[in-house]
Amino acid sequence: MTLVEHFRQYYEVRRAVNRLELKDCYKIRHRVFCKELSYFDGDADGFELEQDDFDSHSEHVLLVHKLSAKPVACVRIIHTDPTAPEKPLPYEEVFVDHLDRDNFDPDKFLPGQITEFSRLAVLPEFRNPRKRDNSLPENYDLLDSCESPMIPLALFSIITSLFFSSEADYGVAMMERSLAGLIRRSGIRCESIGERVKHCGWRSPFLFERETIIRGVNTEFSDLFREIDKTLVQTRQGFIDSQQLIYA
């Protein structure tokens, strides 16, 4: 089974264009980043949602498992805050003293030229067999539907689609080097632009350029990207229309 056939059988992508879908994103993030990995404090209000100030000027997308109709992963792309265009993106704060500014200095770019790929989160049972309860009906096919590296490559297909539909020339992601290695093996181009620091584990800043990000991708990833991009392009207007309602 090819990568795109695997995706069509088990998954679909869904833009988070209303409060309920955004809540699904925040719940996944809370379960992964707060409860499982303890990267952030839990939700003080008891709603089990992980949110921050960047969510209001981000695009959010869910990966949905078809058999259970369950959102199982999410990702966002952070745009420049239209109300405060001078506000730094998260990576600028984390790596303020650790960027290789001779090769990439964010201070030399105009607001909107750089975006950030952020909050990639996958429910533990969809990436770790030890976390699964295979007695549950919705989990019986997880061994097939979680075939590596299906989910991370689907999430990076989402990111690439959102990047291309933005006005940015560059994207930055704070990633573990193992994830960077996985996406590079698929032909996605990214360049390390700074030192590794301890932030939600050990992370390094990686740069993606619009003109080269998928220039060398293999056929399987290219087909997967086109499949996902088609859906996200068709639903982009719905995302734009929703912003005035959600964050009004």
Residue in the block written with tokens 């080269």: 212
The whole-angstrom separation of Cα 33 and Cα 42 is 9
Q: In angstroms, what CA-CA distances link 127 with 65, 149, 203, 211, 220?
A: 13, 9, 20, 31, 21
Average pLDDT, stretch 121-129? 83
CA–CA distance, 53 with 4 (Å, rounded to integer): 35
Reduced to 3 states, what is the DSSP secondary structure of residue 69? coil
Residue 37: alpha-carbon gap to chain centroid = 17
Domains of the chain: 3-246 (3.40.630.30)
Asked if residue 243 has pLDDT above 60, the reply is no
As a whole number of angstroms, the distance between CA 177 and CA 170 comes to 19
Entry pTM: 0.89
Residue-wise pLDDT for 186-214, tens only, equals 999 999 999 999 999 999 999 999 999 99
Residue 12 has pLDDT above 90, yes or no: yes
pLDDT surpasses 70 at 35: yes
pLDDT single digits (tens) 128-177: 655 555 555 555 556 566 666 889 999 999 999 999 999 999 999 999 99
Q: Report the C-alpha gap between 13 and 6 in whole angstroms.
A: 13
- CB-based contact 164:212 (threshold 8 Å): no
Q: How far is CA 97 from CA 77, 86, 94, 176, in A?
A: 23, 19, 8, 18
pLDDT confidence bin for 126, thresholds 50/70/90:
confident
Q: End-to-end alpha-carbon separation of the chain, Å?
A: 45
What number of helices (H) and strands (E) belong to the chain?
A: 8, 8
Mean pLDDT on 48-75: 94
DSSP designation for 99: B
